[in-house]
Chain A
């Protein structure tokens, strides 16, 4: 897991930056300080790799693509949930140390690596895609681009879980058993808004999956590295469907006078 960063030529201006990196495991830990030579264009993940290659071979960090596409290197940088690979050093204040710590809403494994397995369990709880019968004999369907634009927006999600990390329902109130978090509310929305899908997940959203806990503070939307309109485009419409199904007084009244 070394990085090319360790061998780059110094043909750009360099400076020394102090890093405070959280090191520890399930039982606790502390910040340790490292000094890193930073050249132009470097991102935080490059610096972590440089520390790993030269000063702390066993510094644990999870990463893959280093291009903002896989969503593995989520962390809290100077207190903000971010992808380490997409956070440029020159975008951070130069006059103080850079703090890097693991996502705090998930249990620590080691150093910057957290146990995100809860997310994978939550996803399995959601009823899978169930398409209508194909439109054509070759098994294909007709869907217009304008009808899939919204679903495609949600499907840009790289599952970095930064939205889950920042959500106060999980972070502060630890409702992991009753609330699936913004990522999976949006995942449900992507299925519900899929033009071919025939499944109904609205009752699950209200009951097992706890959509009511979300009080639309939009923290999830703010940290999304893919700039998906999680709250406005996914969660609010799902809340509206729940309301329509369970709380709308007109619908209730209508049902009294004209029972189904």
Chain B
């Protein structure tokens, strides 16, 4: 049986799914290895969610504070992740990030500069020294544009506005992907020797999120249904500072850079509540008073960081607590104040506008708030998933031969909580590794024929919604899922609520089989929403099931019924896989071993 003529067939050695920072970096690396590369973008090239990243990319270059180095960065990352991280990945990341950043400069990136003309680095939560290479507060744009502009001259073939709906396999190996183009709604088959997933996150599983419509966990679901394992899915990062007003921008990110530049959090009583609760692991690293915190912001090497720059999980919980205790702002957040620095700096207004231009713009235009003179209202927003495809820390290959993953869709680097700035560096470090090893795999393995029957069956399922005259509205199901995840599997969790969420998800899975869409196949967002639903349901289920099984509070997971960290839970990651009967199976996986040398680094940095 061969593929019908209505399919458009492409052939590559390495197929990269996703064109954010990780995908483009992987595609560049694979192209450099001399193999034929295809890149699939869900949107237009250069619009992926990476573009939204603001604060910077963490790399221990030591340009601002020469006490920094890979060992400090490694220890910071492990501490931030509550030691559930894969140490092999944390080591690659800390050691290789500086070179990856310098490489961006060689490809045309223009970072902000130090006084002596080197790449400037800024403070961020959980990083001991100023470490984030940045461009104002639009670092993600600089990253994606640099990779895009460099990448288009490297010979890769780019497919814009196309979505992959299934990975294809033969003989246990991945051999391609099935998808459609938005413009015409035609079906495409990409034959490939190796596939790199770089599809980003899952934020759209929740109602309040900083993620765009694309963040529907496609790669997580593709990998899961292809037999790969998902790890650490209970760890979803709620960024402490999203906009809360006006309602239409609720969840939109307010960069941690605001706090890095001296912004402080206050409750309705005007109290800097972050001083009230400092976790033991950070007791020696936090300023004892406001004056010391400001000295840190100004670069005083003897000062400790203000408590606003503690890790995101902790700051988000503190904000949540203030709001619940009735000490919130008028629209249900708390106050973030950068304007106060005018007490310290003569030209504070201009300084804020230069350091945080897009924040200034965003608040001015969308909320009518001038952040150089007024306080912002902020609250937690679903931002990032630490969990993802379980990969080999050295090669980024999943348990399915030929299938690789990098960036947010992969698990391991961040453990139970990601430090700000470690995402952009994650993309370039592991994007490169994935591209390199996928190319190597493609060179070592022959192409495997596509199973036309498999393609036909999967395509038929996709087209069903058009055939139903009276069915469910896909948007309504998506909203209900988002509401349930937000309310029942959000920032504070309990066993009973999550069991309820599972029940709802099971029900929604049935209803999703009965969605109907109107219109035709060309650029039909109703149809695309119906297709994305399947992915959202899979990742939501894995988040809820994993979160139920981790009976403790650690990192991004806070359980009201198990509010303490439990040493017994510090020895394993949770892994989801699809069982033979199609159900989701969650199991404990012992943490990967850590080399003695790395253990010593952690001890030394305590």
Question: Which residues of chain A have a CB within 8 Å of any CB of chain B?
Answer: 1-2, 4-9, 12, 25, 39-43, 46, 52-53, 57-72, 86, 88, 109-111, 113, 115-117, 120, 123-124, 128-129, 131, 134, 138-145, 148, 151-152, 155-156, 158-159, 191, 194, 197
Contacts and interface: CB of A to CB of B under 8 A. Distances in A.
Q: Which of B107, B214, B249, B517 has the most CB of A within 10 A?
A: B249
B303 interface: no
Contact of A4 (B43, B106, B136, B251): B251
A148 B365 CA distance: 27
B28 to A, nearest CB: 13
B47 A72 contact: yes
B113 interface: yes
Contacts of A110: 522-523
Contacts of B105: 140-141
5 contacts: A42-B248, A43-B248, A57-B517, A69-B138, A145-B113
Interface in B234-266: 245-253
B452 interface: no
B582 interface: no
Residues of A contacting B: mostly: loop
Contacts of A6: 475, 479
Nearest to B98: A138
Interface residues of B, number: 75
A128 B212 contact: no
Contacts of A64: 43, 47-49, 51, 212-214
B362 A67 contact: yes
A209 to B, nearest CB: 16
B116 interface: yes
A197 B106 CA distance: 10
Nearest to B101: A140
Given A69-B138, A155-B110, A194-B110, A9 B247 contact: yes
Interface string B49-91: 1011000000000000000000000000000000000000000
A58 B519 contact: yes
A63 B528 CA distance: 14
A138 B119 CA distance: 13
List 9 A-B pairs, minimum CB-CB distance, nearest first.
Answer: A41-B246, A58-B519, A57-B526, A129-B108, A142-B117, A8-B247, A60-B523, A110-B523, A2-B475
Interface of B: 43-49, 51-52, 99, 102-103, 105-108, 110, 112-113, 116-119, 135-136, 138, 140-142, 145, 149-150, 152-153, 160, 183, 207-208, 212-214, 245-253, 357-358, 361-362, 365-367, 473-475, 478-479, 483, 517-520, 522-529
A1 B528 contact: yes
Given A57-B517, A69-B51, A142-B118, 13 more contacts: A1-B525, A7-B207, A8-B250, A41-B246, A42-B246, A64-B49, A67-B366, A129-B149, A129-B150, A140-B118, A141-B105, A152-B136, A156-B138
Contacts of B527: 58
Q: Which of A67, A68, A140 has the most CB of B within 10 A?
A: A67
Contacts of B136: 152
A139 B245 CA distance: 45
A58 B52 CA distance: 27
B212 A143 contact: no
Given A7-B207, A134-B106, A58 B135 contact: no
B106 A152 contact: no
B186 to A, nearest CB: 13
Contacts of A57: 473-475, 517-519, 525-526
B464 to A, nearest CB: 16
B525 A52 contact: yes
Contact of A120 (B45, B108, B183, B248): B45
Contacts of B479: 2, 6-7
Given A64-B47, A68-B361, A155 B249 contact: no
A72 B52 CA distance: 13
B212 A65 contact: yes
Contact of B110 (A86, A116, A151): A151
Contacts of B107: 129
A171 B147 CA distance: 30
Nearest to B516: A57
Q: Which of B108, B116, B138 has the most CB of A within 10 A?
A: B108
A4 B212 contact: no
B175 to A, nearest CB: 29
Contacts of A159: 46
A68 B365 contact: yes
B106 A72 contact: no
A42 B368 CA distance: 12
B248 A46 contact: yes
Q: Which of A46, A58, A60, A138 has the most CB of B within 10 A?
A: A58
B106 A139 contact: yes
Contacts of A9: 247
Contacts of A109: 183, 522-523
Contacts of B150: 128-129
B522 A25 contact: yes
Given A4-B250, A155-B145, A156-B138, A70 B517 contact: no
Contacts of B522: 25, 60, 109-110
Given A57-B518, A129-B149, A145-B112, A65 B52 contact: yes
